[in-house]
Homo-oligomer: A and B are copies of this chain.
Amino acid sequence: MSDPTERDTATKKRLMEMAKVWYDQMNNGEIPSITLPTRTKYNIEYDDESEVWKYGDKESVRNAGTAKSATHMLKMAYVIWFIKTQLQENRSSTLREMYYISEGWKQAKFGAQNESNYLIEDLEIITAMQREFFHMRPEEDGASIFGPIRIRENTRRGMKEIHCQDDVGEAGYNIPNNVENVELVDHDASCVIAIETGGMFSRLQENGFDEDYNAVLLHLKGQPARATRRMLKRMNEELGIPVVVFTDGDPWSYRIYASVAYGSIKSAHMSELLATPSAQFIGVKPSDIQRYNLPADKLTEQDVSALRAELTDPRFATDFWRKEINLQLEMNLKSEQQAFASRGLDFVTKEYLPSMLSEIGVLKR
């Protein structure tokens, strides 16, 4: 559904169907209700077909039989009305704005920001549509991209065609908050390298890695935004470009990788849209600290608990991760990706990345 008008019509229809179900329930003398999967890590299952983690079969039913649940459904009805208006007027808003707008909704006013966030997630699950289709904008834009790919963005100021190497400054093309407005036109890329730090993004650019290897460089800016994950997924799925994730070597960075490759528990209902199961990890591994004799720091208490938690996280239940995580706990060390600089500023682009990319089969030279 790349045509915006078509998308809006379909979204409106889906939301109206929800209201119709309630209407019919009431008409039949039933108490209106909604059914949702239980959203905890005990209800996450691996889906073989799509290769992502999704919510399992456990469901919870919420019906308007109690004052609390009735209020919740009233809020949902208000939100549906709000979104419908947005779609009709071709406007958009942030979750934060919607929260403030609810000031005028009397009993349906939200008590706290996370309440409205959660409700939008519920609506995403029920309608099986992403919030971007509701014209709900995230606060933050996505990552920046620099490399041999041409996009076409449908902006409020008309259609813009941008080559992400030739038509941008050194800071690259900024992924907008709604990636559905971006069309991937063509490319000449061997892979997409999603990079954790700005320093490493610039290092690869300065060393000409994008030119020498036709690599698309993408600066993740920490835990990747929805728009970033969606963009990675689309470059991988629509254009068939392999995605690799290049991070520091600590538990927080492994989570960044996991959220790109497997999705997150919080948005398991969006995994099919946001996760790139074939994305491979080429960040600093505990075994690399030994192999390359990298400068390292001791693990903090928080690091140790995070690593332990990852040992029980289904997303890290592979031989590779278990071996590396156990090794890290044993060594009690972590290294940053920029630590490769201790072997010279060219080491990462002349040695480390080419050898890693060949090892995992992305580079065939």
Contact = CB atoms under 8 A, between A and B. Distances in A.
Interface of A: 91-94, 96-98, 100-101, 103-104, 137-142, 144, 151, 153, 155-157, 160, 162, 165-177, 181-182, 197-199, 202-203, 205-206, 208, 211, 295, 336, 338-342, 344-345
**What's the dominant secondary structure at chain A's contact region?**
mixed
A289 to B, nearest CB: 13
8 contacts: A92-B206, A93-B345, A96-B199, A103-B342, A140-B198, A157-B165, A162-B169, A169-B174
B171 A174 contact: yes
A170 B93 CA distance: 15
Contacts of A144: 141, 174
B169 A176 contact: yes
B162 A173 contact: no
Nearest to A138: B198
Q: Which of A171, A203, A340 has the most CB of B within 10 A?
A: A171
B341 A97 contact: yes
Contact of A170 (B98, B138, B176): B176
Nearest to A140: B198
A155 B168 CA distance: 9
A339 B100 contact: yes
Contacts of A208: 156
A153 B139 contact: no
Number of copies: 2
Given A160-B168, A167-B160, A100 B205 contact: no
Q: Please indicate which of the listed interface residues A98, A166, A181, A341 has the most CB atoms of chain B within 10 Å of its own CB.
A: A341
A141 to B, nearest CB: 4
A342 to B, nearest CB: 4
Nearest to A344: B101
B167 A176 contact: no
A143 B259 CA distance: 25
A342 B199 contact: no
Contacts of A157: 165-166, 211
Given A92-B206, A96-B199, A141-B198, 5 more contacts: A96-B338, A97-B203, A100-B342, A144-B174, A156-B208
A338 B100 contact: yes
B172 A174 contact: yes
A222 to B, nearest CB: 10
B170 A153 contact: yes
Contacts of A342: 100-101, 103-104
Contact of A139 (B173, B197, B340): B197
A87 to B, nearest CB: 14
Contacts of A101: 341-342, 344-345
B97 A338 contact: yes
Contacts of A100: 295, 338-342
Contact of A202 (B137, B339, B340, B341): B137
Contact of A167 (B97, B167, B336): B167
A320 B89 CA distance: 40
Contacts of A205: 156
